[in-house]
Copies of this chain bind each other. A is one copy, B any other.
Amino acid sequence: MGFIRNILNSRSPGDGNFFLKLKSILGFKPKSKSLYIKAFTHRSMNIKDKKGNAINYERLEFVGDAMLSSVIASYLYEQVPHGDEGYLTKMRSKVVSREHLNELGKDLDLIDLVQSRIPKSNFGNNIHGNLFEALVGAIYLDKGYKVCERFIYKRVIYPYVDIETLEGKVISYKSLLIEWCQKEKNTFDYEVYEDTGKDELKHFSVKLSINNKVVSKARATSKKKAEEKASKRAFFAFQKQMTKLI
Interfacial residues, chain A to chain B (CB-CB below 8 A)? 49, 51-54, 58-63, 65-67, 69-70, 73-74, 76-77, 81-85, 88-89, 137, 140-141, 145-146, 149
Contact = CB atoms under 8 A, between A and B. Distances in A.
A83 B54 CA distance: 9
**Assembly stoichiometry (copies):** 2
Main secondary structure of the interface of A (DSSP, over half): helix
A76 to B, nearest CB: 8
A66 to B, nearest CB: 4
Given A141-B74, A141-B77, A66 B63 contact: no
A52 B146 CA distance: 32
Nearest to A43: B84
Contacts of A74: 63, 66, 140-141
A81 B59 CA distance: 9
Contacts of A146: 145
Given A69-B69, A77-B141, A141-B74, A84 B63 contact: no
